[in-house]
Amino acid sequence: VREHEAVSGKNAELNYHFYADKVFLVLRPGTAGAGAKVKVFIDGKPANGSNAGSDVKDGVLTIDSARLYSLVDLRGKTGKHMLLLKFEKPGIEAFAFTFG
């Protein structure tokens, strides 16, 4: 994701290789509207209680407003992983990844 990029198109996906313990992403609902959903996968499997960030529930992130979202929390197990985001609606805006 560049400094600011709107995720557009039906069934858009974002793949991101990372080496970290925590992953955050600034998102805004954009034209998708508040309540837009994003499915979160880590290493090909839905995010769950052992690896999901605090904003992800049962593998799903709900975008309610423009803010920083916690996507991944490996609880101190830093490593190389693949993050896949599947956007249910077009128009969600992604701004910047940060890591912990």
- The rounded average pLDDT for each run of 10 residues, N- to C-terminus, in the chain (100 residues) is 57 93 95 94 97 98 97 96 94 92
Q: Distance between terminal CA atoms of the chain?
A: 18
pLDDT for residue 11: 84
Number of H helices, E strands in the chain: 0, 10
Using a 10 angstrom Cβ sphere, with 0-12 exposed, 13-18 middle and 19 or more buried, the burial of residue 40 is buried
d(CA 44, CA 82): 7
pTM of the model: 0.90
Two structure tokens written together for 86: 């599947």
pLDDT for residue 1: 46
pLDDT for residue 80: 97
